[in-house]
Structure 1
């Protein structure tokens, strides 16, 4: 009976999916989003002050580990952003077609997914010089019925990531070897498909060779020995009408290859299997668990009293102390939320190394700042940024910037307006203004501080469940 049901299921699957590589395949009707891309090149990006890159959430691309952002693409992109003199904003997507759409619509500037260059993709974007070479492999469990050669894939069902190059490669194998495959495309990242194989939810998938090898170090019963496609160049993608950005990336890449930086990053994420395994399987990794730090419970309790998303408060704690209860700054600030001695005393913290006291002392200070700004800045999201700046530099300096915004006819309830004048507090024309009480301040550092926290919060929101 089971065999009959399996046979019927197999016939049904082949009926629905198994003709994908034949002339019966229906062409997708889709908007030609790659035509007339948004005109946005390096000069505009630098003037704007940040670059947006699409990355994947995977054990090799981008993830959170103990509150820290990690991953091969992330570290490479962060270095590139520093080279360009801009900040890095990341967009996490697993759908490659959607990534190309965002790129051409000007909502992203780079697709950093180590894409194989092919004729179809060259319609959508322009590719940088290769970052390296990657092949693809079949992922399966070690078993007696293991597939050892391509011909053994006949009548097999292979689940793959939607819109990846894997379908094209499997179709080529099917034609070359005269076999019949059922290819099922689904949304998701490569690691999620490998996990389905590990859990026996599917029998086969195809991933980049390096991803397969990294995962094979985690799971002893995983086999990635069968090559689906030999190594080929992989690169990042930019808009066709962004030649200056492409040229700058290529110059940076050439420099980093000469210094050995790219090899170092490759070794860190693709060859150091023990560290990769530890990070990827830690309960404090966004790949394996849903925790940011050992203090998540305390942070959630504090965030509830503030009315904040706990991941926002976690971003602040990470920025201040990296979740180190014994952290001490050069200025004498201590504890999880790096409170100065006078603030510790004011908000009743007797032991700054006690995580509960330290955190709740900082939360009480944040509540005080919230009350200070509530009537002046009623909108919560704008007020939170002002509170964060006040936490960093003191609410007196931020109040000076708020007064300057009023004097110069800008919106004093808008963080961007306040940030603009806060950054100008190094200029005598502004810090000596009669409305300013506290004088000179390195306000631009506080603005960057807020940006850092909000960028980290965006990552936590995407990768960590509420």
Structure 2
């Protein structure tokens, strides 16, 4: 089905009609309001940026906007603005020490651009907005165990939280005009993860966030269920300071139009927000439960092994979970044993004399993974090198080399994990494994093995960041969260 020029791939037909209407209205408002608000030349702001050679971005430190990943800065909005800065040929400076209102204030006063899951609102004073980037659909989520709410009337009497200025508060106010008994709490201090944490812990019964935010965060909050969508979708857009010309806004709009026309914008949206399919595959609920109950017994051992081997301790912990579910006495039918499931021969080579000793197993597994990384050809770089070493941990280095040979025979790149990943399952087919040095292997297993470890690592990294954020929040709010952070919006009686 052909898509509207401003419509992401997952939009529905009703949403498309609303999107067209919103885009038309916003364009009309901008045309009507801008000339009277700006007495400067059309391109003055853009010329200033090009002259100083950098673009100043104000954002929020959240999984949907910007955060520090294993390979450096990442996040949907960060990636989008980074591409825009490259398009302009300038560098990017970033200030993520904001909540929503802080982003808007900073853009008005000093910044070039705000990208922080901001809802398009052309009536905000001192700001201009870009073209819509993607839809923001408000969604009610609730704590597992509650009776699933299905109507607005069933929300009355529940403790509901949302974020002030995010657009979800606007959706609730519009609903309250028709359902006067609706009440909620809103905060300008929290972020989505903290809000979901309060629902999971029971401080709130429910929360209203955006659908894409829940899709990205639900993996880490298995105690929270999605309920139903609320109201019409809003539009995510970038914010710019008014009164400094339209050059930067127009350049951003052209950039977004080109990105959408080439399909790159939809692809970027999908890469960040369309991962719901692996939620149950990796057993998220069981994993998070064991991460809280079982992992703390071995965390220091993983940290110590990480210091000696040079890996992230959370990666080693993810390998340990994939191997044994952190069971130090695990034993396979083939005689592989221990928390890191070492073979007897490998344990002997590593100097591990008791595979059932947690410390020896974890340190031995870390050393073995490091050996595999170092034995790979130098032509394999970055994450490709790590992923292939992880696959070799599962299937053996010889079979990995066979898969690389098959990859080369198929005309693909043997140094690229994405290509080798496609070749590994072929080791199960006689047509291919009969031509290799090491023969048959269950080549589909290392593909699943690496994928699972990457997902487990993502969860542990997120839980680690979230724990730090919750500690910071508690430090700011020693006398209780309700009085300082939430403002009660009473029923409209």
TM-score, normalising length: structure 1: 0.50
Structure 1 residue 118 and structure 2 residue 121: aligned? Answer: yes
Conserved? CA contact 1:126–1:237, under 8 Å: yes
Question: Any unmatched runs of 5+ in structure 1?
Answer: 1-34, 284-288, 300-323, 336-459
1:297: how far off? 8.7
Change (3 A) 1:200 1:169: same
CA distance in 2, matches of 1:199, 1:38: 52
SS in 1 for 2:215: helix
- 1:286 maps to none
Q: How does 1:13-412 map to 2 (within 5 A)?
A: 41-106=45-110, 108-121=111-124, 123-240=125-242, 241-273=244-276
Deviates more, 1:257-266 or 1:135-144: 135-144
Deviations along 1:367-420, whole A, 9 cap, x unmatched?
Answer: xxxxxxxxxxxxxxxxxxxxxxxxxxxxxxxxxxxxxxxxxxxxxxxxxxxxxx
Residue 395 of structure 2: aligned partner: none
Instruction: Please state whether the residue corresponding to 1:139 is helix, strand or coil.
Output: strand
Check the 8 A contact 2:134/2:235 in 1, yes or no: yes
Indicate the larger mover: 75-84 or 62-71: 62-71
- Shift of residue 164 of structure 1? 2.4
Change beyond 3 A, Cα 1:144–1:58: same
SS in structure 2 opposite 1:266?
helix
Instruction: State the alpha-carbon separation in 2 of the partners of residues 212 and 63 from structure 1.
Output: 17
Residues 119 and 166 in structure 2, CA contact (< 8 A), matched pair in contact too:
no
Question: 1:147, CA displacement in angstroms?
Answer: 2.0
Tell me if the contact between 1:38 and 1:105 (Cα under 8 Å) persists in the aligned partners: no
Give CA-to-partner distance per residue, 1:399-444, whole Å, 9 cap, x none: xxxxxxxxxxxxxxxxxxxxxxxxxxxxxxxxxxxxxxxxxxxxxx
Offset at 1:244? 0.3
In structure 2, the residue matched to 1:400 is none
Q: 1:95 to 1:178 in 2, by over 3 A?
A: same
TM-score (norm 2): 0.48
- Per-residue CA deviation, residues 88-136 of structure 1 (Å, 9 max, x unaligned), is 1121144222111111212x21111232223542x23101011121111
Cα deviation per residue 1:36-76 (whole Å; 9 max; x = unaligned)?
Answer: 99996111111111111122222221122224222111111
Q: Which sections of structure 2, spanning at least 5 residues, go unmatched?
A: 1-36, 292-298, 311-371, 383-464, 473-493
Partners of 1:88 and 1:186 lie apart in 2 by 27
CA RMSD of aligned residues (A): 4.1
